[in-house]
Amino acid sequence: MEDQVQKAVNEAVAQFGGIDILVNNASAINLVNTETLTMKSFDLMHGINSRGTFLCSKLCIPYLSKSANPHILNISPPLSMRQRWFKDHVGYTMAKYGMSMCVLGMSPELAKYGIAVNALWPRTAILTAAMKMLAGGDEVASQCRKPEIMADAAYLVLTKDSRTFSGQFCIDDDVLRREGGLTDKDLEQYSCVPGGQLLPDFFLDEPDAAKPAATSASSGAQSGQQQPGADVEASMKHLATAIDAEAVGLVKGLVELQLTDLNRSWLLNLKSMPGGLSEIRPGDSGSTEKPDTCMTMKSADLQQLVSGKLSATGAFMAGKLRITGNMGVAMKLEKVFRKAVAASSAKL
């Protein structure tokens, strides 16, 4: 790999006469826990994210140091020691934070050459191919911003004086407000669907960019609405109506759904027809097959999913939904939840 990167650097220098900017963007992602993550996947993430960033930066230093305004920009998040960013996918977080640690260490180290080293991260979900795969289709667009917001923010960072702007962990819309003078109204141009409720991205500790309506579930006692868990049976009935030949053909897996606050679990058979949904009773052997995926959440969040007030993608990214096992199976469940929402709405 090192020889390949060196070859690419040499070819860039030969073609363009030098290197002014390095953007470390390539990343590998596998959002599973320690028990599930294979060492092959662990090594892939660390090889691309942490090692790749370090290697590309190292090999570009001799050429960046000759530039009038040299920049290294890592597409990585601000560092945080909150457990929520580690507990469900520590392998991925370590790899991604490795990129950010390069910013932390290289920015003072390379200041003697006038090389700026900064990080840029999106506040909200960006509509990429990976996001479409995670959410199960283009429907997630209403909750995302366009990739152009990152491109425009990167331009503003990369055109600043490298000797006075370094070691910064930048957020895309903050950069556009501060450096570009954009207002909240101006930022609407980056929304895939103007006015849509945006999903907050991973790793940001500040209040969510678009707080899901699930907060209403916690205030039900004061407002007179249903208590969390009060109507879980109805939620399960609506979810059962979404299990059909189309859902089975899409997911092709067994899913265990655990409601932590009720200490109850259900098995969704989305592997073979006729499919089905059944509660796993204590002491029950249940299915002879081990579930491909386990989804863990609170009953109030499940009710928000089935009522359409919270998307599965949004729940996952906000830490309300934990997924272990086959992530590929889990990624396809968004459409099943949307069908349950339609069934729920039809009853209103």
Q: How many CB atoms lie within 10 A of CB 26?
A: 11
Peptide bond into 282 cis (omega under 30): no
Q: Coil, strand, or helix at residue 203? A: coil
Q: In what order do the strands lie in the sheet with 322-325?
A: 276-280, 264-270, 253-259, 293-297, 322-325
Q: Which residue among 92, 97, 113, 190 is the active-site one? A: 92
What is d(CA 238, CA 234) in angstroms, rounded to the nearest whole number? 6
CA distances from 271 to 134, 197, 242, 244, 250 (A): 19, 32, 14, 11, 9
155 catalytic? Reply is: no
> Can you tell me the distance from the alpha carbon of 124 to that of 289, in angstroms, rounded to the nearest whole number?
38
Long-range contacts of 285-289 (CB under 8 A, 24+ apart): 287/254, 289/254
Name residue, tokens 């960019």.
209
What six digits make up the tokens of 115? Answer: 């090389």
Residue 143 · residue 314 · CB < 8 Å: yes
Give, in degrees to the nearest 5, the angle at Cα 127 between 126 and 129: 120
Catalytic residues: 92
